[in-house]
Structure 1
Amino acid sequence: MHVGIAVNPVAGMGGRVGLKGTDGKVAEAVERGAEPRAPDRARRMLDRLAAVAPDATVSVAADPMGESAVRDAGFDPVSVVDPFGGETPDPTATTAAHTAAAVRAFADVDDGGADVGDEASDGDEPAAADPVDLVLFVGGDGTASDVAAALEGTDVPMLGVPAGVKVYSSVFAVSPEDAAEVAASFSRTERREVMDIDEDAYREGEVHPELRGVAHVPVADDLQSSKQTASGTVESLAEGVAADVRERDGEGITFVLGPGSTVGAIKDELGFEPSPIGVDVWRDGEVVVRDATEAEILDALGEENVIVVSPIGGQGFVFGRGNPQISPAVIRRCDLRVVASRAKLDDVRALRVDTDDPDLDDELAGWVRVRVGKFETRMMKIV
């Protein structure tokens, strides 16, 4: 097996600082104190890959797009693709063009001097090794779109290690470790959709996924499906949860109310306008922080805290997709309440978490009571 590895070092940086994405917002994310997420996700995937496929042949993009991480995991890459023309840029200076140039080299694609390659390497195409059997990339939907475009017209499959804020495409594994397992064991591929959304519209609360491509993807149970919007009413659910929250007003309990339409209905029932796809903090009858960042949530927490979240329809993720502001540090200080419509739960086999903290993921695993109505609950398992 020959794997080509490319890491988008800025993927997901905007999440915990409340930007809902990083496309065009890297500088602002840095100003807000954002920390890189993708390198750690890459290391987790590579550590597992080294364990399950130690003899794998690896090509990799030059630093800051993965070379050091590959070597640290114990692999001696057969090819280091340099899309930077011999320079080593600051990670925040990497672009979609660099990703595309590296992927084309992995697949041994001759672009005939296309602009994207020239932009990435000042006119010199990166050196290509033998074509890879799989492109394994670390990033989000924007990175997936770049990889798919670079592989267009080839049969080379792609698989994503999820590191972005939004992950709508069905080309990603559930976790970094799962990506390594799939890469090491897949025997067939199928065509899957690459989706992305307009992040500016997303920040305003409008979610309009657009098809950006169709790619060959390894087939395995650990691949997630695209996000789907579940049908069904949440009015009675919202009424019941809001009533419970109001009963605790005056007790100093801090409620961290996650994003999404289901929890948004609870916010409406509490009498305030939800922040667009953001996290709001409520205590003693009023909004303490609206559209909060991770740091603002941590500052607002008290002695007793409760997170209210709803899983993503079609995927079942409770944490790790679309709500990175609710970080491991926040989760560890809160009790968890999961809410969902019956229709949403009918679309998922199990709930999932991907918090960036494997120990916390293990702690959260197991059976959890999900509120599905004004009074009704259903038991679901977090796997």
Structure 2
Amino acid sequence: MAAGKGRIGFLVNPIAGMGGPVGLKGTDGLAEEAIAMGARPRAMERARACLDLLSKERDAILFFTASGSMGESCLEECGLDYKVVYSALPVTSSRDTIRTCQAFLDEGVDLILFCGGDGTARDVAGIAGSTPILAIPAGVKMHSGVFAASPQAAADLVIRFLNGELNLRDTEIVDVDEELYRAGILQTKLYALAKTPYLPVLVAERKRIYSSDQEDEFKDQIALFASEFMRDGSAYIIGAGTTTSRIADILGLEKTLLGVDVVKDGRLMITDASEQDLLELLDRETRVMIIISPIGAQGFILGRGNQQLSAEVIRRVGIDKLIIISTPHKLAEIPYLLVDTGDEDLDESLAGKRQVVTGYRIAQMKDTLAASRL
């Protein structure tokens, strides 16, 4: 190894994010069910998008990793210099993540770079100690503050960190109770504090939930307006969140708070839809719209917590058929809207000024950016 090489511990949770497109709202303990429902692995694809950029610095980095799909495969495909320090089991678990991270610490890595979601972040942070960690986003729900805005942003952060350009910050590692989450109850818990390389914009903030009487008033105004324009005979795909769920309340429907539902002519057509459900809907319906709301503090409207709205679904509906809704306070707290569908061309086409409904017949314009371009 050449003197001065950065030492990066790199691991992939191969099953991360698989539960999102099939509507499971997480993959912890449900990998086999997700596969049976038609889910496909996406974490390695996200990891490669980051490593492709890091390959430009291949002479300056030595990676330490686990065997096979937990890291070795991606590093080998990208032609990077690596050392396998842990032999993973054929079916991986959090135990493999923890043991891999311990091996990283034994090697004295400068940074642990991992690809996964909040569950993976919990496992990594639980053993990392003072070693900085950084996440390539690949999970269903990413509430913790260690996630880069995109795989490309993660690569940029790694390079800047190794060049000594970034400070570290303490950030919260949080996760939700997945069983409650699937039942429509969002209950987060603080598990650890971790150090992460930080640059505003490139690292996503921890998700925030806004609640106040004024917020509720604006949600009611937005919902009332939506209940009126939704009488046009179109099928409306309604994304997750408290703002969108208020629309269902106004219509007298029982929406899944953290899922994606479909409403037409005042009735619930599909509850807790998967990506496949939505594609089948698009085979039947010619007029379809999508209503979504940004994640508080983060600004993501696509690619976080609503992977059922895949790139294929969005393309078939049409990018001009997206209706974005947000209370004024939430919108003011985010500098711009972000999209990370996994399809960079689609993300670019979604970028630009987009209208956001913020009240009854009231809207604001907000810049929308492709997360990969940050």
2:206 is aligned with 1:226: yes
Aligned counterpart in structure 2 of residue 284 of structure 1, from 253, 257, 265: 265
Aligned counterpart in structure 1 of residue 227 of structure 2, from 242, 252, 273: 242
For 2:85, the equivalent position in structure 1 comes to: 81
For 1:169, the equivalent position in structure 2 comes to: 144
2:333 is aligned with 1:353: no
For 1:182, the equivalent position in structure 2 comes to: 157
For 1:32, the equivalent position in structure 2 comes to: 37
> 1:282, CA displacement in angstroms?
1.6
Equivalent runs, 1:356-371 vs 2, <5 Å = 356-371=342-357
For 1:127, the equivalent position in structure 2 comes to: none
> 1:76, CA displacement in angstroms?
2.1
Equivalent runs, 1:316-355 vs 2, <5 Å = 316-334=299-317, 335-355=321-341
Contact 2:12 2:70 in 1 (8 A): yes
Alpha-carbon separation, structure 2, partners of 1:381 and 1:94: 40
Aligned counterpart in structure 1 of residue 254 of structure 2, from 273, 298, 305: 273
Alpha-carbon separation, structure 2, partners of 1:306 and 1:81: 49
Contact 1:53 1:184 in 2 (8 A): no
> 1:54, CA displacement in angstroms?
5.1
Question: What amino acid sits opposite 1:170 in the alignment?
Answer: G
Alpha-carbon separation, structure 1, partners of 2:46 and 2:205: 20
Aligned counterpart in structure 1 of residue 24 of structure 2, from 3, 19, 22: 19
Question: What amino acid sits opposite 1:139 in the alignment?
Answer: G
> 1:55, CA displacement in angstroms?
2.6
2:131 is aligned with 1:131: no
Question: What amino acid sits opposite 1:133 in the alignment?
Answer: D
Contact 1:12 1:165 in 2 (8 A): yes
- 1:90-112 deviations in Å (ceiling 9; x for gaps): xxx2000100111111111xxxx
Question: What amino acid sits opposite 1:99 in the alignment?
Answer: T
Q: Secondary structure at the match of 1:205?
A: coil
Question: What amino acid sits opposite 1:67 in the alignment?
Answer: E
* Structure 1 alignment gaps of length 5 or more: 109-129
Alpha-carbon separation, structure 2, partners of 1:265 and 1:229: 15
2:79 is aligned with 1:70: no
Question: What amino acid sits opposite 2:141 in the alignment?
Answer: K
Aligned-residue CA RMSD in angstroms? 1.2
Aligned counterpart in structure 2 of residue 308 of structure 1, from 291, 304, 327: 291
1 or 2, which has the higher helix percentage? 2
Contact 1:17 1:34 in 2 (8 A): yes
Alpha-carbon separation, structure 2, partners of 1:257 and 1:162: 23
For 1:119, the equivalent position in structure 2 comes to: none
- 1:23-81 deviations in Å (ceiling 9; x for gaps): 1111111111110110100111111111356532211211120111111112021x212
> 1:338, CA displacement in angstroms?
0.3
For 2:372, the equivalent position in structure 1 comes to: none
Question: What amino acid sits opposite 1:25 in the alignment?
Answer: L
Q: Secondary structure at the match of 2:101?
A: helix
For 2:61, the equivalent position in structure 1 comes to: 56
For 1:148, the equivalent position in structure 2 comes to: 125
- 1:234-286 deviations in Å (ceiling 9; x for gaps): 1011101111112x03xxx2211111110000111122111231111122332
In the alignment of these two chains, the number of paired residues is: 349
Alpha-carbon separation, structure 2, partners of 1:322 and 1:144: 16
Contact 1:189 1:217 in 2 (8 A): yes
Flag as ranges the 4+ runs of structure 1 deviating above 6 A.
none
- 1:285-304 deviations in Å (ceiling 9; x for gaps): 32221111000011112222
For 1:200, the equivalent position in structure 2 comes to: 179
Q: Structure 2 vs 1, CA of residues 57 and 379 (structure 1 numbering), >3 Å: closer, same or farther? A: same
* Structure 2 alignment gaps of length 5 or more: 1-5, 370-374
For 1:112, the equivalent position in structure 2 comes to: none
Question: What amino acid sits opposite 1:262 in the alignment?
Answer: T
For 1:95, the equivalent position in structure 2 comes to: 93
For 1:258, the equivalent position in structure 2 comes to: 239
Alpha-carbon separation, structure 1, partners of 2:154 and 2:278: 31
Alpha-carbon separation, structure 1, partners of 2:11 and 2:197: 17
TM-score (norm 1): 0.89
